[in-house]
Amino acid sequence: MSYLPYAVAAWLCLVGLFGVATSRNLIHLAICLTVTQSSSYVLLLAVGYVKHGRAPIFKGIKLGTPAVDPVVQALTLTDVVVSVVVVALILALALDAHRLSGTVDPDEIADISG
Amino acid sequence: MTWIPPLLVAIPLLGAVFAAGLDHITPTVVQDALVVAASAATTAFAFLLLWHAENHEVVHWFGGWQTRHGVALGIDFAVGPLAAGMCAVIGIVVTLALLYSLTFLREAARLFDALMLVALAAMCGFAMSGDLFNLFVWLELMGVAAYALTGFTVERLGPVQGAVNYAITNGVGGYLFAIGIALLYARTGALNLAQIGNTLSHGPAGGLVIFAMTLLFCGLLIKGAVVPFHLWAADAYAVAPSPVCAVLGGVMTDIGLIGVARLYWTVFDAPFGHGHAVGDVLLWLGLVTAVLAGVMAFLQRHLKRMLAYSVLCHIGIMLAGIGLLDSAGLAGAELMFLAHALLTAGLFFVAGILHVDHTRIDELHLHGLGRGCWVPAAAWLAGTIGLIGTPYIGIYLGHGLIDEGANHVGRPWVIGLLWLGSALAGAALLRAGARIFLGWGDADDPLLGEPLEEDPRERRVIRPLLVGVAVTAVVLGVAVSLVPGLGQRAEYAADRFRDRSGYAARVLRDRPMAPPQSLPVTIRHTSFESLLYGGGATIFAIGLAGIGLYRRRLPHSVAVAAGRTLAPPISVLRGLHSGVVGDYVTWVAVGTAVTGGVWALLLHG
């Protein structure tokens, strides 16, 4: 078993979070969010991977042939859909922020505090 | 009766499709009727489900994919009395909010109604789901609907900021949750909660499970707005339209806590149930939230922001109740959820009425303007008293049961702090009520900070409808502690909810559950201690509200000394709530790391 995919997943998650926390541009920030989210795709696929496994299509193959886990692929697909919706919404809000204030810097649209 | 649970999701989702799709074809009246009917029907089915869930967990396997030899093949809804009751409360609050918004948001597109129904479906789905990944999907679905609803009136920068902060912080929470799911799936090979729990009950848990639990719980606590993951909540609730606030603050925030309870008692009770470490961390988070949010509520002048902190305060108390890991504590959290959802919704409705009448939502700007509006004033007062927990009003019974739980598990010192939290938040609301509806107190107070920008829009509304909805919510909420038999049923529901092996046997092997003994239909009494605490909290809140109103009349030396000691911590607190999303995400990361570190130390050692 290789630890590389897990290391990549951890790196993507942390670097994405760092980007979200320090970003000065909402569009950049939305991309950082997708980077964070990508870590869960890598992790899911790594979890379900079987060495020398086939694609999980079981029609016409011998019983007992190793195949990768189809569940994690379904989870990843759902995850992608969910993430796209959230990012689309944030981009729409970034557009509104720009229309109203001429900036997409989250620090400058911070109108309310305390 | 296994056909009922899917309806609670299907009806509102279909309603949303029709509301959005037939927008330009059907007349407004038909549209409105359809939307309210969908929501009311969902509520009615939730009550029917509650009735049927009395004896057994109602389990529905989608597509007929039943279990084989105790292995879950499909995806299920597993509904006990607690989940069904949650759905019923959610249904009531959403229905009231939709009635309220009939005229309040008339100019808004029909997409508003569709989004509200999607949120309703997602919340019901979340409460009923027996599958870990489905929990995530419902969580994200309600999140997306809520972000859109928060930023619904984008004519000013405030709603944009609120919605952006909400979406990003909760988005990060969702991703943490997703990573936690992947880790737990890697460890157990299962997504069904009952089956994960069964798998983890064999053998030692190990660091991976602790890590997964940290990510799952922190993801949910972000949704539940628990300190230090709470920073987005006040920004979002301050800017959303009042009926949206009623839904977000009344029921959607609490959903995160139900997720924590559900995951603990189906999954993590198996490896960690022998000790108290998991519960103690939750208990501490709850205590800090209750007191800190109470203080923050007292420092607000924007009514909806004040109410947002009051919501967080009760969230903290409920989390503490869950963290006691005791039936009485969980039952208290349930009853507090019920009362607080209705009362909070009612107060948000009253705030909306004030906004309509005077186009203001700031306590100091509204000074004395509410004189003569007796019905909203009475609703505000009753709601406030109910949220403090004055004996036998509103959240009192919930508080009382949490007190019992704390004594059971030998942590009686939490009781005073929890009462302090609700008294602080109550004092803020009382002070605002006295200032607005009676014109008491000073017209200016620098302690409360700068005014926020206000939405000047005029609305043409049917005012009696708004008042009627607000009064209904408050009356229902106030009565919770006095409904005969409710307390006993909440305890029974909590017992069922905590029975991990019974749940797993029911879900995976279709075994019948032990039938309930006949429960008495009397008012549940609490200990004398709770009665004292409730009375004390009320007096404390009234006194503190008085000080808030007439701070300038305090003796000079007292005022100077108090100012010197309190000013620095207050400014630090205000500074933490900076409104900048980067800070919020940093707090989320730090909070997750610390929580996980503490659990690793306590559970591994």
> What was the pLDDT predicted at B202?
86
Assigned domain for B178 exists? no
Residues of A in contact with B308 (CB under 8 A): none
- Go through chain B and tell me how many residues it has: 605
Assigned domain for A81 exists? yes
Which among A85, A90, A109 has CB closest to B168?
A90
Which among B156, B183, B589 has CB closest to A21?
B589
Closest B-chain CA to A88: B144
CB B494 within 8 A of CB B81: no
**pLDDT tens digits along B189-207:** 999 999 999 999 987 778 8
Assigned domain for B101 exists? no
Find the domain containing B365 and state its range: 276-301+322-483+523-552
Burial string for B315-344 (b: 16+ CB within 10 Å, else e) reads: bbbbbbbbbbbbbbbbbbbbbbbbbbbbbb
- CB spacing of B158 vs A111 below 8 angstroms: yes
Assigned domain for A110 exists? no
**pLDDT tens digits along B16-59:** 999 888 877 888 888 889 999 999 999 999 999 999 998 888 99
What is the nearest CA distance from B110 to chain A, expressed in angstroms?
A: 18
Assigned domain for B451 exists? yes
**pLDDT tens digits along B52-79:** 998 888 999 999 899 999 899 999 999 9
- C-alpha B412: how far from chain center: 24
Assigned domain for B242 exists? no
Q: Is the peptide bond before B228 cis (omega within 30 degrees of 0)?
A: yes
- Cα–Cα distances (Å) from B4 to A19, B32, B60, B103, B516, in that order, read 45, 25, 8, 32, 22
Find the domain containing A76 and state its range: 4-101
Assigned domain for B352 exists? yes
Q: Which of B171, B141, B135, B170 is nearest to B262 (CA)?
A: B135
Hey, what's the torsion of the CAs at B390, B392, B393, B399, to 10 degrees?
A: 70
Residues of A in contact with B154 (CB under 8 A): 93, 96, 100
> What was the pLDDT predicted at B459?
66
Residues sharing a CB contact under 8 Å with residue A94, sequence separation 6 or more, in sequence order: A26, A27, A30, A104, B164
CB B479 within 8 A of CB B394: no
Assigned domain for A97 exists? yes
CB B46 within 8 A of CB B124: yes
Q: How far apart (Å, rounded) are the C-alpha atoms in residues B409 and B236?
A: 36
Assigned domain for A114 exists? no
Closest A-chain CA to B236: A112
Please classify residue B519 by burial: count the beta carbons closer than 10 Å to its beta carbon, then call 0-12 exposed, 13-18 middle and 19+ buried.
Answer: middle
Q: CA-based Rg of chain A, rounded to a whole angstrom?
A: 19
Residues of A in contact with B590 (CB under 8 A): none
Mean pLDDT, chain A, as a whole number? 89
**A77 inside 8 A of chain B by CB:** no
pLDDT cut 90: percent of chain B above it: 68
What is the nearest CA distance from B450 to chain A, expressed in angstroms?
A: 9
Q: Is B217 a residue whose pLDDT tops 80?
A: yes
Q: What is the CATH number of the domain that holds A32?
A: 1.10.287.3510
**In A, residues 79-108, which contact B (CB 8 Å cutoff)?**
79, 82-83, 85-86, 89-90, 93-94, 96-97, 100-101, 106-107
Assigned domain for A112 exists? no
Assigned domain for B464 exists? yes
Residues of A in contact with B236 (CB under 8 A): none
- CB spacing of B167 vs A109 below 8 angstroms: no
CB B322 within 8 A of CB B419: no
| Mean pLDDT of the A10-26 span | 94
> What was the pLDDT predicted at B461?
80
Domain count, chain B: 1
- The better pLDDT of the pair B154, B244 is held by B244
Residues sharing a CB contact under 8 Å with residue B21, sequence separation 6 or more, in sequence order: none
Residues sharing a CB contact under 8 Å with residue B424, sequence separation 6 or more, in sequence order: B291, B294, B295, B297, B298, B313, B541, B544
Closest B-chain CA to A82: B140
| Mean pLDDT of the B554-582 span | 88
Which among B168, B179, B582 has CB closest to A40?
B179
Q: Is A113 a residue whose pLDDT tops 80?
A: no
For B58, the 3-state DSSP assignment is strand
Taking the alpha carbons of B221, B222, B228, B231 in that order, is the dihedral positive or negative? Answer: negative
Assigned domain for B235 exists? no
Q: CA-based Rg of chain B, rounded to a whole angstrom?
A: 23
Assigned domain for A109 exists? no
**pLDDT tens digits along B47-57:** 999 999 988 88
CB B36 within 8 A of CB B25: no
Q: Which of B370, B162, B182, B345 is nearest to B248 (CA)?
A: B345
> What was the pLDDT predicted at B458?
54
Confidence of residue B154 (pLDDT cuts 50, 70, 90): low
